[in-house]
Amino acid sequence: MIFYLVLIAVAALIQTTLTGVNLCLLIVLVAALLRRDSTALYISFIGGLWLGILSSTNLGFYPLLFLLVTQITRLFRVLPISTHVLFMFPLVVVITVVAKLAGGAFIQQSINWTNLPIQVVAFYLIYYFAVFFEDRFFGRTDLRLKLR
């Protein structure tokens, strides 16, 4: 969980100062796809609060948006096809478009559609980085040694 919190804190700083790509949303999507327990909800809420503070917008918008994204992703994650790489593409596109439209409707953000391909590529980079980092540095708790 600390890995995702550090990642989302750095992404919020980069998102609010340098780029218009919604990096925090992508990290919330990755956390919702990879984490099977309720820590994805904590990550999305804390990340939404941190992004709201840094971007000086309504503090409730980003936590609610990220919690909604996490719940929708968790619903789609129970499908057997959800582990396939091509399944994630329409999920990322639809959630990114809905987040852009919600930001435009509720907090009057400008909608820039040219960032959509960049966000999809950034999602896959963040996803594979998180998969590599979790598999490499964190042990799984469901693995047990069986003695015969």
Question: Based on the structure, what is the number of domains in the chain?
Answer: 1
Q: What is the DSSP letter of 146?
A: -
| Residue 132 within a domain | yes
| Residue 37 within a domain | yes
Q: 64: domain range?
A: 2-137
- Summarised one tens digit per residue, pLDDT across range 91-120 is 899 999 999 899 888 888 888 888 899 999
The whole-angstrom separation of Cα 68 and Cα 99 is 10
- Round the average pLDDT of the chain to a whole number and report it: 87
Say what the pTM is: 0.85
| Residue 114 within a domain | yes
Q: What is the DSSP letter of 110?
A: P
| Residue 125 within a domain | yes
Best CA proximity match to 26, nearest among 129, 128, 122, 132: 122
* Residue 89 neighbours by CB under 8 Å, 6+ apart: 120
Task: Name the region of 108 (left: φ>0; alpha: ψ -120 to 50; beta: rest).
Answer: left
Percentage of the residues of the chain whose pLDDT score is greater than 90 = 44
| Residue 142 within a domain | no
Residue 10 burial (CB count, 10 A): 13
Residue 77 burial (CB count, 10 A): 17
Confidence band, pLDDT 50/70/90 cuts, at residue 35? confident
